[in-house]
Every structure is written in structure tokens, then in C-alpha cells.
Amino acid sequence: MALILCIETGTDICSVGLVQDGELISLRESDSGRDHAKRVATFVDEILKLNNIQPEELDAVAVGEGPGSYTGLRIGVSFAKGLCYGTGKPLIAVSSLAALTAVAIEDYQAGILDIENWDEALLCPMIDARRMEVYTQMFDSKGAPQSDISAEVITEQSFAAVRSSAKNFVVFGSGAAKCCETLGATLVDIAPSVRGMARIAQSKYSRGEFVDVAYFEPYYLKDFVVTTSKKNLLAK
């Protein structure tokens, strides 16, 4: 009987939920942009109060580990680590791409998505990394990984071998729309949400798969680069 608070802030969507025994029982989300620093604390407070739960009554805290937005990931992970420090609860890290895929699978099973040849489909969640680059990983229709996580600059040749062998190559996520035509893929509307973290977090909790609260860092995939405006340089 595990009660887990789940947090996902790796994209423009801030998502917070309460999970009991692998089922989502409370959810707060916003897609209004990258004001996650304000919203994550508010959402956590609202969910705990709504369910009459004190932070100390949680069994664990789960957080989306990325890949995704550098700033967004830091906000979510920092908040989750602080909560774990304060309550002495363990921290669970969940791949943001695996969670996104879990949302797609859940929506298909619920009849929300209508996808041909689902059993043989190849699922490709994509998180926008600007221009034609995405963070991605491939999964089968049961959610089993079929490739490693990678940062890919999408061209007509991307994933050529696996695309030719798949009955249906399905893309979704914040980086999917810009790549759909180039890849000749099936595009479905799936947004990041802690809905996809629920059962993954429960499974990790049951197996005791926790990360070190002191040393855990988000999976950025790429180094954060600070750029300086040329206009500012010329003004000096």
C-alpha cells in the first residue's frame, strides 16, 4: 500500500499527482508555460490538502528525471529532493520518455486513441530540443524500450531501418509535430503527465529502486549552454 507524490516539470507542462497503489487519485496540471517554480509548490500543497494528507504520510516522492528542459527539470528535481530531505522519504526517478509512452498506452487502452496495427506499432516519444532536434527513445506497444535515449537531429533518414520494419511508426510529444511529415509517421496528441508515472513509480517502489537524494541529478542528455546576444556584445 504505497502513497507516492509524482512530479513532472521537464517540458512546458507542470504536472503533479498523488498515486496510491499504482493508481492516480489526484491530479493538478498547467500548460501555461515555464512558471513551474511557482506552480509546483502550489499544486503539491493543493493535492495534499485536498486528500487530507501530511507530507510525512507519503511513502515516497517520484520525479521525472528527463530528458527535457534544463530549467524545468532542475525545478522539479530540486523540489522533490527538498521534500525528501524534509520528510526522510525515498526518491524515485522516472524516465520522462517512458512516462510519456505510458500515457500513450493508457489512452489507447481507454479507447481515446485509434491506432492501426497497435500490437506491432513502434512508439516514439519526442521531447522538443529546438530546431529539428528531439530527445527520443523507441518503445514497443507494451512499453518495453527498443532503443537507448538519444538526442536526434531529424532527417528523412532518421530511424530508417526500424521505420521500414514497423507496421506503424507512431510519434508524439512536444517535438513530434515538426518531425511527423519528414518521417512519414503517425502523429498522435499526447502530452507529458504524471499519469504516465503512476505505475512505473509504484513498480520501482515495490522493487526498492530509489536514487540517492543527495547526489541525484536530472538526466539532461546535453550540457546546458549559456548564449550571449550579439546585440549586447556590439553595444559594449
Does residue 70 fall inside a structural domain?
Answer: yes
**128 within 8 A of 68, measured Cβ to Cβ:** no
pLDDT in 10s for each residue of the chain, 236 residues = 799 999 999 999 999 999 999 999 999 999 877 689 889 999 999 999 999 999 999 999 999 999 999 999 999 999 999 999 999 999 999 999 999 999 999 999 999 999 999 999 999 999 999 889 999 999 999 999 999 999 999 999 999 888 888 779 999 999 999 999 999 999 999 999 999 999 999 999 999 999 999 999 999 876 544 444 444 544 54
DSSP H or E segment with residue 83:
helix 70-87
Does residue 129 fall inside a structural domain?
Answer: yes
DSSP state of 211: B
Look at residue 222 in the predicted model and tell me its pLDDT.
Answer: 66
How many angstroms separate the CA atoms of 165 and 162, rounded?
5
111 backbone dihedrals φ, ψ, rounded to 5°: 85, 10
**Structural domain of residue 16, as residue ranges?**
3-96+193-231
Residue 73 sits in the same domain as residue 125: no
Residue 221 sits in the same domain as residue 176: no
Residue 82 sits in the same domain as residue 21: yes
Bridge-based pairing state of the strands 168-172 and 121-128: parallel
The domain total for the chain is 2
Bridge-based pairing state of the strands 3-8 and 14-20: antiparallel
Does residue 215 fall inside a structural domain?
Answer: yes
Does residue 11 fall inside a structural domain?
Answer: yes
Look at residue 195 in the predicted model and tell me its pLDDT.
Answer: 97
How many angstroms separate the CA atoms of 32 and 14, rounded?
9
CATH number of the domain enclosing 68: 3.30.420.40
Bridge-based pairing state of the strands 23-30 and 121-128: unpaired
Look at residue 228 in the predicted model and tell me its pLDDT.
Answer: 46
CATH number of the domain enclosing 142: 3.30.420
- Is 0.95 surpassed by the pTM of this model? no
